[in-house]
Amino acid sequence: MMLMMSVAGGSGPRPVPMRPSDAQWAAYIERAASGEQQALARLYDESSHLIFSVVLRIVGNQADAEEVTLDVYSQVWKSAANYSAERGAPSTWMVMMARCRALDRLRSRDARSRRETTLEEVAEARSSGAPPEQTAWENQQRTRIREAMQDLLPEQREAIEMSFFLGLTHTELAERLGQPLGTVKTRIRLGMIKLRHALGAGKELQ
């Protein structure tokens, strides 16, 4: 077991060297902090299997695990400038983030389940016609989404529009765009991360 050794002059312990993967991920986080989206894409490709498996063990549902995993990388993107090796290796930092997000999802899911019956009763009692306030709010949200879409990279915007608005599967998208399936998935996921960030943690997209 490697021991922490104090340096001369009382400057404190030397940090334990990172594993090769952690060293590379730390470099990606540093580049992401300067706004480099490709660095986040590389970090996602190399580490998302770890984060997804941690989240899935906690939430026990693949759909929820996929959403929470996206939320984790959205948080990584926003918090990259605050990352420090003193907080631990990148893998440790992201796993802790994933655990917190997954537990939040569990609590939210339980609370939503308890409210389901009441919400259904309220919905049945309401008029089928949407009030003007709701219509105005929905129009405002559509405008915000269109504006946020314009801030995406062209290839991310194209992939999301074709997937969500044309209803194409990822495989169909890959064939139509002439790109590897993994590339198409990464474009969509990174685009969704940016949209969630622009729209306030993705509440409008759920």
Contact criterion met (CB below 8 Å) for 28 and 43: yes
Residue 49 lies in a domain: yes
Q: What is the average pLDDT across 88-95?
A: 91
pLDDT tens across 150-200, in order?
778 888 888 888 877 667 778 888 888 888 888 888 888 888 888 887 776
**Burial grade of 162 (CB within 10 A; 0-12, 13-18, 19 or more):** middle
In a domain, 9, yes or no: no
Residue 134's pLDDT band, with cuts at 50, 70 and 90, is low
Residue 104 lies in domain: 19-113
- Residue 70: which CATH number? 1.10.1740.10
- b/e string for 16-30 if b means 16 or more Cβ within 10 A? eebeeebebbbebbe
**pTM metric for this prediction:** 0.55
| Residue 8 clears pLDDT 60, i.e. is over it | no
- What whole-number percentage of the chain has pLDDT above 90? 22
Instruction: Tokens 């605050």: give the residue.
Output: 82
| 8-state DSSP, 136 | H
Please check whether residues 25 and 77 belong to one and the same domain: yes
Q: Which residues contact 70 (CB under 8 A, 6 or more apart)?
A: 189, 192, 193, 196, 202
